[in-house]
Amino acid sequence: MEKINMLQGLLERLRDGVVVGDGGVIFALERRGYVDAGKWTPEVVVEHPEAVKQLQREFLRAGSDVIQTFTYNGTQDKLTRALGKNTISCQQIADKACRIAEEVAKKGDVLIAGSITKCASYKDGKGKAAVQAQIRSQLELFTKNKVDFLIAELYFHVEEMEWAIEEALKTGLEVAATMGIGGKGDLNGVPAGECAVRMAKAGAKVVGVNCMFDPDETVNTIKEMKIALDDAGLSPFLMTQPNGFFCPGAGKYGYLSCPEFPFALEPRVVTRFDVHRYARAVYNLGVRYIGGCCGFEPYHIRAIAEELAEERGKMPLASEKHKPWGKNLETSYNEFLRKR
Amino acid sequence: MEKINMLQGLLERLRDGVVVGDGGVIFALERRGYVDAGKWTPEVVVEHPEAVKQLQREFLRAGSDVIQTFTYNGTQDKLTRALGKNTISCQQIADKACRIAEEVAKKGDVLIAGSITKCASYKDGKGKAAVQAQIRSQLELFTKNKVDFLIAELYFHVEEMEWAIEEALKTGLEVAATMGIGGKGDLNGVPAGECAVRMAKAGAKVVGVNCMFDPDETVNTIKEMKIALDDAGLSPFLMTQPNGFFCPGAGKYGYLSCPEFPFALEPRVVTRFDVHRYARAVYNLGVRYIGGCCGFEPYHIRAIAEELAEERGKMPLASEKHKPWGKNLETSYNEFLRKR
Amino acid sequence: MEKINMLQGLLERLRDGVVVGDGGVIFALERRGYVDAGKWTPEVVVEHPEAVKQLQREFLRAGSDVIQTFTYNGTQDKLTRALGKNTISCQQIADKACRIAEEVAKKGDVLIAGSITKCASYKDGKGKAAVQAQIRSQLELFTKNKVDFLIAELYFHVEEMEWAIEEALKTGLEVAATMGIGGKGDLNGVPAGECAVRMAKAGAKVVGVNCMFDPDETVNTIKEMKIALDDAGLSPFLMTQPNGFFCPGAGKYGYLSCPEFPFALEPRVVTRFDVHRYARAVYNLGVRYIGGCCGFEPYHIRAIAEELAEERGKMPLASEKHKPWGKNLETSYNEFLRKR
Amino acid sequence: MEKINMLQGLLERLRDGVVVGDGGVIFALERRGYVDAGKWTPEVVVEHPEAVKQLQREFLRAGSDVIQTFTYNGTQDKLTRALGKNTISCQQIADKACRIAEEVAKKGDVLIAGSITKCASYKDGKGKAAVQAQIRSQLELFTKNKVDFLIAELYFHVEEMEWAIEEALKTGLEVAATMGIGGKGDLNGVPAGECAVRMAKAGAKVVGVNCMFDPDETVNTIKEMKIALDDAGLSPFLMTQPNGFFCPGAGKYGYLSCPEFPFALEPRVVTRFDVHRYARAVYNLGVRYIGGCCGFEPYHIRAIAEELAEERGKMPLASEKHKPWGKNLETSYNEFLRKR
């Protein structure tokens, strides 16, 4: 009962205001040593739950309205390939990730989103039934743990995304769907606009883009999506969760094609000011679910929440110390800093 | 009793191996909204203790052997200027900061260092007695809370540092002393080597450099210090805690003179590989207390601990997922990533 | 006779279309070894005239409509300080610089601008008469060599600029006047808008900004100038020649305050795409004299000329090989490059 | 007669001292509008010879001891593909490029190198005879124009390089051979060391690396080559001409895989200080032919010549204004600059 209430909550929140997403959990945890950068699987939820909890808690304090379960790449096919057979199971991960998210969520008025993504079986060409079976194990645990809604994210092929949405809708939960694409479309060349239309037609109430490209490119991609949706007479909610690394000129693989990926991306990290610009730009385009992905640290999420404080009617916890656009320097003791 | 034991612990640890310091607390917390970037005072320990605790805990997990109390700029003169009269007192902050550090330290075999720094009274020309009075309030709380040793850090004038060491030694605790200088010496032009000699003669058993300059410049500065100490027949332990932002060519004020300070330093952030190089370079020079300062996130500290894993006989928690120099990519599913 | 014709030419050209300026001569020549980076004086025109000629020729080919005499910092007070007494005189430099510009200009339909800038005597507080005497020597040579108009540029104080304009107008030539300022105004804090009004009132028919700040900051500064000029009922032509190095957040001294100045600014260099954006932005604001300063290489000037090719009714020499926004890659032999 | 003399000249010069190469002609000319960035062919030598001449002249002034004919990608197969049939022929280009180089070379004591590179026919799998026929047309013109020696450069497959060396040696000229590879070896995975051995065995008296990777990576690659050559008992002269863009972590395709290639590489450009380091590092390894490739502007070549001024017994023209490591700033009028 309560759950259904909450689910309405997501769509209502989007209708009435802005939902701030969370940031890049796997990238932050890789740096800190909990994730293998060749495999990118989420066994840390079992091995070091405290590390996950603490990072998600910081996102919450920074202003996130949603905590995504850390189940990225947590399908059994990927886990088996990464960790071997009979080790940590897909179910264990989904279960533990849900519990961590719940504990974090207790401290704030936030929604929990069960997160699914592309699986190895699609790339291996095993077909629709195999792909849907992979995510079904995760979805069952999300239902059991009563998450508030689902996010199908970072799909590289809109076909796999359609299968995922179809399967996800069987849970009865609402589905937000974001592709990992830029202006060149999906890996088969399906344009961004067409991807958006197909996601909406497949039943996703929230559609958009996440990861792979920087905020600037993402602004362009969501613009294309909006135009195509308008043309098709569709009006799902829009959602963007770009990555936090500048990669202008990158091809279809986005920031993966930067030679600095994944260990030396520091010079490409966006500043808080870049995030202010991004948040304002997508808000003006009509996007109402605004977050980040890989490279978005809690302070970047905070910049979204601060930029949209008026629209949301609230500031994130502790942000009273942040004055907009570097005003703090005016009280500096160093004359040359005050002058900036 | 136990305390005295522990204090010997510091010097013994330095004699027998390597002590890994912690990273930049105030910079990380400013980004997250808990610190005012014009004032840089540490009232967050009272206002949001959980945010401090969680960050320090992550440093500990990353391999830090020392947790510094977060009392930076916590002298009464600075607090009054920043927050007004009769608000949060110097004593409250020192007390709370010690308690947080203790709670964090419970989970590992780490030492707690009471941290003091330059005060407003010196800059205002109020003289030795006034300066020593400012830090005395902090030192009393450190004694009461039984920290393991003291760090006097980020002094811009070696004269003020000498006064600080003199006062700090009255507690009976050992003192580590690091100036905030580069190759141009202190703000009065006292060369780095001479600063080192004067700190050692003043009674600091550990001397060195922290903050203000990047790892590369810091390697040069500690080299100068070592040469001067050798010439003077002195052999304190050496310590470096540079900042994590490249700023080659910066003048006496180091990274403060970068126009990107403090809000847009992202493109200057050092990578984990830069930190590996730094840790090896200073270790080879004989430095045994190796940490970071502003800009050093937990993952940078982890890079120190990983680089020196053999010398220390241990890896930090969870680092088994980190293979040296990007080896992880060899197991990537993307052919073009495996090739890197 | 012919000269007067040409002078009308400048204002007519600005009225009827766009005038593309040239780029950063002194910075390019410093790199190549012909200029001392402590003194920044232009004796290269006497010592290695071929090096100057060849660079200016490349600017002309890239689309410049104006060649400025390379007389920057060529007042006697600066030359004496840099080179000693009785060496190369102010007159020799002005004379030689004019001859070089003439030879270059022969190959195209371009105007020659005599260039003056701030002198040491102003900074030393020697007063109006002394300051005007310094530039008078240069102005005499410009008259003798029949330059087409004058540019008073890179002034840091609007007061000195007013004196310079007053003196320059005595030649009977038109004067374009650009301050070396950003959004914080001149070094005495006179706001950019007020500077513009005072330059126009002093008699400059073209006013604006040059050097010191990047294109983005310069767009903002010229916007402030335009607003103030409109409010004052003044409508001189507008001119911008920013530098080619990103320095967001820099204080009053602009890129001088970057620690990378002057030898390691490479990572801050703007790309051709940044210049396209800049040219379009200032054109839309009504600026009609559009060029660059330090850091603008010939290819950056070409980007201005290409961006405004339609408005100007012509492309620069050879630009038929440049297709807008990187289209060239579509014919690449490497599949992964074609995909970009 | 004279020619034979000169040829001995190259090897003698390498034996007795250091030969400074030239820099990146095609990249500099692409920026300036004379080259199509999809095709990268050298028809500019026919269309705008002055633009080539002027750039090569600046390299000569900067200290280059060699001028390479600008015949890169000038084989008939590439020209036909780029420009269509019956347009500019391979012979025209080689002829014109030689004449330009000669004119430039008149002004200094420099050698002229005929330059050949990989052709389309190899990639298309047309076999050895076809590949050798392609370069033969160029080689004939080089012989006719009496160049001083030959450079076979930027080969991606050592097999094609062997064919090129075999053909080139038939002219009777000495051959310098450099592969376009990094630490991963050639495109077939042949290790750098083995490539070096095979080039030397094929008859090249000078072997090494050019383009594709930054100076740091190139230092490592030439080190590998040296080790393998030593092991094989071979001792050709060593040569390096890296590109001027930092691309750490790049895969086999080097800087091509940076998303900023080719239009937005500015933030990756090496500074003069980086070039000083590079020149010293390879000199210490025993390299005696030291130059640059794409991205190396004349001022970078000057940095090589300045770094090795003592070893070469001379400074490049005009470099008396360059004081090492930024000393010029000490005479700056701005106090804050003097302090750097």
| pLDDT tens digits along A302-324 | 999 999 999 999 988 878 788 76
Beta carbons of A249 and C340 less than 8 Å apart: yes
Q: Describe the crossing of helices B76-83 and B128-144 by its angle, rounded to 10 degrees.
A: 90
pLDDT average, residue stretch C162-183: 97
Please tell me which of the candidates C31, C32, C337 has its beta carbon nearest to residue D256: C337
* Chain D residues whose beta carbon lies within 8 Å of the beta carbon of residue A259: 247-251, 257-258
Give pLDDT, residue C333: 60
CA atoms within 13 A on the CB side of A289: 30
Q: Describe the crossing of helices A90-105 and A76-83 by its angle, rounded to 10 degrees.
A: 110
Give the domains, in start order, of chain A with CATH numbers: 2-312 (3.20.20.330)
By the 8 A CB rule, do C219 and C285 touch? yes
By the 8 A CB rule, do A75 and A90 touch? yes
By the 8 A CB rule, do D18 and D283 touch? yes
Beta carbons of A62 and B318 less than 8 Å apart: no
Q: For residue A3, what pLDDT band results from cuts at 50, 70 and 90?
A: very low
How many other CB atoms sit within 10 Å of the CB of residue B2? 7
CA distance A319 to A302: 8
Residue D3: CB partners within 8 Å, gap ≥ 6? D146, D148
- The token pair that represents A255 in the structure block: 């920031």
User: Residue B8: pLDDT above 80?
Assistant: no
pLDDT digits (tens, 9 = 90+) for C83-132: 998 899 999 999 999 999 999 999 888 999 999 999 999 999 999 999 99
- What's at B241, amino acid-wise? Q
C250 Cβ under 8 Å from any chain B Cβ: yes
B336 Cβ under 8 Å from any chain D Cβ: yes
User: Residue B301: pLDDT above 70?
Assistant: yes
D85 Cβ under 8 Å from any chain B Cβ: no
User: Residue B337: pLDDT above 70?
Assistant: no
Beta carbons of A47 and B318 less than 8 Å apart: yes
* Chain C residues whose beta carbon lies within 8 Å of the beta carbon of residue D275: none
User: Residue D3: pLDDT above 60?
Assistant: no
pLDDT average, residue stretch C302-312: 95
pLDDT average, residue stretch A235-262: 93
Range with the poorest average pLDDT among A161-165, B86-90, C93-97, C235-239: B86-90
Percent of chain A past pLDDT 90, that is, above it, reads 85
D251 Cβ under 8 Å from any chain B Cβ: yes
pLDDT average, residue stretch C146-156: 97
| Greater model confidence, B234 or A336 | B234
* Chain B residues whose beta carbon lies within 8 Å of the beta carbon of residue A336: 253, 256-257
Give pLDDT, residue B335: 63
Length of chain C: 340
Residue of C246, C260, C263, C335 to mutate, testing the B interface (most B Cβ within 10 Å of its Cβ): C260
By the 8 A CB rule, do C184 and C251 touch? yes
Residue of B26, B328, B330, B338 to mutate, testing the A interface (most A Cβ within 10 Å of its Cβ): B328
Give pLDDT, residue C323: 76
| Greater model confidence, B339 or C194 | C194
Nearest to A212 by CA among A250, A260, A157, A268: A250
What is the DSSP track for B19-68? EE----HHHHHHHTTSS-TTT---THHHH-HHHHHHHHHHHHHHT-SEEE
Edge-first strand order for the sheet with A237-241 is: A19-20, A289-290, A237-241, A206-210, A175-179, A149-155, A111-117, A66-68
CA distance D155 to B52: 56
CA distance A168 to A151: 9
Percent of chain B past pLDDT 90, that is, above it, reads 85
* Chain A residues whose beta carbon lies within 8 Å of the beta carbon of residue D248: 259-260, 264
Rounded to a whole number of angstroms, the distance from the CA of B253 to the nearest CA of chain D is 10
Give pLDDT, residue D325: 67
* All chains having 3 or more CB pairs closer than 8 angstroms to chain C: A, B, D
User: Residue C198: pLDDT above 50?
Assistant: yes
Beta carbons of C251 and A339 less than 8 Å apart: yes
Question: For chain C, what is the total number of helices (H) and then of strands (E)?
Answer: 15, 8
* Chain A residue whose CA is closest to D249: A259
Give pLDDT, residue B251: 84
* Chain D residue whose CA is closest to A262: D249
Q: For residue B322, what pLDDT band results from cuts at 50, 70 and 90?
A: confident
Give pLDDT, residue C1: 30
How many other CB atoms sit within 10 Å of the CB of residue B54? 19
CA distance D98 to D95: 5
A327 Cβ under 8 Å from any chain C Cβ: no
C-alpha distance from residue A253 to each of A185, A186, B59, B334, C273 (Å): 10, 9, 33, 10, 22
pLDDT average, residue stretch C247-273: 92
List beta partners, residue A179. Answer: A155, A209
A169 Cβ under 8 Å from any chain B Cβ: no
Please tell me which of the candidates C39, C299, C336 has its beta carbon nearest to residue D32: C299
For chain B, state the CA radius of gyration: 19
Q: For residue B5, what pLDDT band results from cuts at 50, 70 and 90?
A: very low
User: Residue C318: pLDDT above 90?
Assistant: no
* Chain A residues whose beta carbon lies within 8 Å of the beta carbon of residue B298: 31-32
Range with the poorest average pLDDT among A148-162, D98-112, D231-245: D98-112
Rounded to a whole number of angstroms, the distance from the CA of B26 to the nearest CA of chain A is 13
User: Residue A290: pLDDT above 80?
Assistant: yes
By the 8 A CB rule, do A163 and A132 touch? yes
Please tell me which of the candidates A184, A251, A336 has its beta carbon nearest to residue C251: A336
How many other CB atoms sit within 10 Å of the CB of residue D261? 22
* Chain B residues whose beta carbon lies within 8 Å of the beta carbon of residue C212: none
Q: Is C47 exposed, middle or buried, given 0-12, 13-18 or 19+ CB atoms closer than 10 A?
A: middle
Residue D92: CB partners within 8 Å, gap ≥ 6? D46
Give pLDDT, residue D335: 63
pLDDT digits (tens, 9 = 90+) for A205-241: 999 999 999 999 999 999 999 999 999 999 999 999 9
Q: What is the pTM of this model?
A: 0.89
Which SS3 state, helix, strand or coil, does residue D293 take? coil
Beta carbons of C251 and A326 less than 8 Å apart: no
Please tell me which of the candidates D252, D339, D340 has its beta carbon nearest to residue B339: D252
Give pLDDT, residue C214: 97
Residue of A213, A214, A217, A258 to mutate, testing the D interface (most D Cβ within 10 Å of its Cβ): A258
**Chain B from 253 to 292: CB within 8 A of any D CB:** 257
User: Residue A192: pLDDT above 70?
Assistant: yes
By the 8 A CB rule, do A131 and A163 touch? yes
Phi/psi of residue D7, nearest 5 degrees: -60, -45
Give pLDDT, residue A4: 39
Give pLDDT, residue B334: 65
Q: How far is CA A148 from the centre of its chain?
A: 15
pLDDT average, residue stretch A49-61: 96
User: Residue C179: pLDDT above 80?
Assistant: yes
Q: For residue C340, what pLDDT band results from cuts at 50, 70 and 90?
A: low
Q: For residue C2, what pLDDT band results from cuts at 50, 70 and 90?
A: very low
Give pLDDT, residue A7: 44
Please tell me which of the candidates B251, B339, B340 has its beta carbon nearest to residue D339: B251
User: Residue D5: pLDDT above 70?
Assistant: no
Q: How far is CA B49 from the centre of its chain?
A: 20
How many other CB atoms sit within 10 Å of the CB of residue B198? 22
Query: Any known ligand binding at D294?
Result: yes
Range with the poorest average pLDDT among B156-170, B318-332, C73-87, D189-203: B318-332
C326 Cβ under 8 Å from any chain A Cβ: yes
Query: Any known ligand binding at A98?
Result: no
- The token pair that represents D94 in the structure block: 């080689």
Rounded to a whole number of angstroms, the distance from the CA of D287 to the nearest CA of chain C is 24
| Greater model confidence, D337 or D216 | D216
Which SS3 state, helix, strand or coil, does residue D155 take? strand
* Chain A residues whose beta carbon lies within 8 Å of the beta carbon of residue C334: none
pLDDT average, residue stretch A76-94: 94
Mean pLDDT of chain C: 92
Q: For residue A153, what pLDDT band results from cuts at 50, 70 and 90?
A: very high
Residue of A245, A260, A261, A336 to mutate, testing the D interface (most D Cβ within 10 Å of its Cβ): A260
Please tell me which of the candidates C247, C249, C264 has its beta carbon nearest to residue B249: C264
Give pLDDT, residue C251: 84
User: Residue D206: pLDDT above 60?
Assistant: yes
User: Residue A131: pLDDT above 90?
Assistant: yes
Mean pLDDT of chain A: 92
Give pLDDT, residue A256: 92
Rounded to a whole number of angstroms, the distance from the CA of D19 to the nearest CA of chain A is 32
pLDDT average, residue stretch C313-331: 78
Give pLDDT, residue D1: 29
CA atoms within 13 A on the CB side of C104: 32
Q: For residue D320, what pLDDT band results from cuts at 50, 70 and 90?
A: confident
CA distance D161 to B217: 43
Beta carbons of A271 and B256 less than 8 Å apart: no
pLDDT average, residue stretch C181-203: 96
Residue A316: CB partners within 8 Å, gap ≥ 6? A61, A62, A63, A302, A305, A306, B33
